[in-house]
Structure 1
Amino acid sequence: MELQLLSQELSDELARIESITTDVVKKSDLSIVLCRNLLIKLKRHVSKKEFESASKEIAFFKHTKQVPLRNLVYFFELKSFEIHYPNGDDGTKQKYIIRKLKKLNSFFSRNLDFIQYIDQGKTYLDTHYFTREYFNEFNITHARYYFRNPEFSSSHDLLLAKLDANRRLIAYLDIRLKNIGKLNGHKTIPPNQLKWTASKTDMTELAYALKSSRAVNDGQVSIREIIKTLELAFYFKSGDPYQNYGEIRIRKKSRTKFLDDLTLSLLSNLDKGDQ
């Protein structure tokens, strides 16, 4: 059995489903069935045949199994989101999406070390993360309805699948959030929503200051996560934080202009209170 070929066939079939239906719940149901069926086939294969080497076992759990597993997680969570999506006004819908986004961002904060390990292409812990020998050494995530059999799971294969699925889900939710209110030809802002009235670079400057000072999650959080939280709180798009940071670094005068202005404004207000 060519396992990689089966995974490629699944990807092709998922793409076909994507092209034939716009009903998200129906699409999710069809995709979930396909992913589960392939995982069952892969499980049978793994139970009958030992891996020839640790490197091949790592390749299976880190790459081959990921195709059906990450799609299973994504479509399961997507269906759950859609069937619980409220029928209320725009403000109610926005609150529901923002609440879901906060939960997803919390996942990234909790698993920051592993995410950095994957994003930076590191491999020195792959034997621990992606072979079955160390399955019981890590209690990393709630299994829910996913495949968590010790004979068919490594300690971190599900966490890797959730990482990929959650990134995809965040992109989907961002689009849903942006599209709220567009059916009426206007962009809706939730009632009593605070609005950011400073510049994009000002928000970036604040985000970097929060991270550098370890004021948020003791510094164990990415700039993008802080930016995303600020954007959601103030209903504002600040653009690419790294490009904005580049503009801040090349300033000829103060590179902390926004923070300096905040300090001066606060001191001025305090001085007025003393008079």
Structure 2
Amino acid sequence: MELQLLSQELSEELARIESITKDIVKKSDLSIVLCRNLLIKFKRHISKIKYHSPEEEIHFFKYVKQVPLSNLVYFFELKSLEIHCPKGSDSSKKKYINRKLKKLNEFFSRNLDFIQYIDQEKTYLDTHYFTKEFFDEFNITHARYYFRDPEFSTSHDLLLAKLYANRRLISYLDYRLKNIGRLNGHKTIPSNQLNWTASKTDMTELAYALKSSRAINNGKVSISEIIKTLELAFHFKSGDPYQNYSEIRIRKKSRTKFLDDLTVGLLSNLDKGDQ
């Protein structure tokens, strides 16, 4: 089975766990196991093949591997955040969360050049960043990274995963901060409130479609602005749109699955009205 399809299936399974598992630590544990298992499969596969071109290798490390790797980083950190969060007063929880937010923002400040490179979808350094040939360019900044398998890593694949994960963590911590003191950190949802019940990649797919079609502000609007508006309207956190978009790009079947489903559903209703 192709690696892209395995990554797509992982995204779907993680979305299923998200929808049925409310406990953060349990959800993290289940997700970590899935991500680890897929990375093991990837590593075994990579050890047996030789890439036909740098572009093929870049695609794997920049997109395909990012699905299990970035989710692994995210759920490890999410679990750590929750199990170490103070159980006492609201003020102690706020201090803890604000410390974590400060630390995450320091990460973005340190890696600003690389983040801009990714966000602006530049590619001129991809050979250095996302092929194994330049693995030795990786600068060790943390003890846990003293050993990384040079046959299954590039100089920046883990940094990209941390970027995606840390954006999701900031979004999660912002949400937790706003809801301290409420039961389990969740709001009581009014019965008449509109809530997004599709997946995070579905929301990202819709946002990119709205921008590409120039349906909002004649196209003169950023993806992040559209996403924020959708999240506010439907009370949903979709995570990092750039990571979600990378997951959409590697789909083996239809890249526009959500839009296809919308079309099928609308046509079905129209056909019923004609009967």
Q: TM-score, normalised by structure 2?
A: 0.64
Counterparts of 1:119 and 1:146, CA distance in 2: 28
Q: Which residue of structure 1 aligns with residue 202 of structure 2? A: none
Letter in 2 for 1:95: K
Query: Partner amino acid for 1:60?
Result: F
Q: Which amino acid aligns with 1:134?
A: F
Counterpart Cα distance in 2 of 1:148 and 1:138:
10
Number of the residue aligned with 1:212: none
- Cα offset for 1:141? 4.7
Q: Which runs of 4+ in 1 moved over 4 A?
A: none
Closer, same or farther in 2 for the Cα pair 1:141/1:11, shift >3 Å?
farther
* Cα distance in 2 between the residues matched to 1:130 and 1:67: 15
The Cα offsets for residues 23-54 of structure 1, whole Å up to 9 and x where unpaired, read as: 10000001000000000000000000011110
**Aligned with 1:144: secondary structure?**
helix
1:73 aligns with 2:55: no
Larger radius of gyration: 1
Give, in angstroms, the shift of residue 4 of structure 1: 0.4
State yes or no: 1:29 paired with 2:56: no
Counterparts of 1:16-165 in structure 2, within 5 Å, are 16-139=16-139, 141-142=141-142, 144=144, 148-165=148-165
Task: Write the distance in 2 (CA, Å) between the matches of 1:138 and 1:147.
Answer: 11
Amino acid at match of 2:70: R
Question: Are the aligned partners of 2:132 and 2:150 in contact in 1 as well (CA < 8 Å)?
Answer: yes
CA distance in 2, matches of 1:19, 1:151: 35
Structure 1 position 173, deviation (Å): 0.2
Q: Which runs of 5+ in 1 are unaligned?
A: 184-275
**Inter-partner Cα distance in structure 2 for 1:9 and 1:18:** 14
In structure 2, what residue type is equivalent to 1:149? D
Aligned Cα root-mean-square deviation (Å)? 1.6
For 1:67-95, what per-residue CA distance to the aligned partner results, in whole angstroms no more than 9, with x for missing partners? 00000000000000000010111110000
- Taking the aligned partners of 1:2 and 1:100, their CA distance within structure 2 comes to 38
- One-letter amino acid of the structure 1 residue matched with residue 53 of structure 2: S
- Partners of 2:35 and 2:182 lie apart in 1 by 34
Q: Decide whether the 8 Å contact of 2:140 with 2:146 is kept in 1.
A: no
Structure 1's 147 and 170: CA in aligned 2 closer, same or farther, altered over 3 A? farther
RCO higher in structure (CA 8 A, sep ≥6): 2
Deviation at 1:14, TM superposition (A): 0.5
Q: Name the CA shift for 1:164/1:146 in 2 (closer, same or farther; >3 Å).
A: farther
Q: TM-score, normalised by structure 1?
A: 0.64
Structure 2, unpaired ranges of 5+: 184-275
Q: Partners of 2:101 and 2:146 in 1: how far apart?
A: 21
CA distance in 2, matches of 1:175, 1:145: 30
Deviation at 1:181, TM superposition (A): 3.0
1:138 CA drift (Å): 2.2
Residue 148 of structure 1: how far off its partner (Å): 2.7
Residue equivalent to 1:175: 175
Report the Cα distance in structure 2 between the residues aligned to 1:130 and 1:115, rounded to whole angstroms. 14
Comparing 18-27 with 161-170, greater Cα deviation is found at 18-27
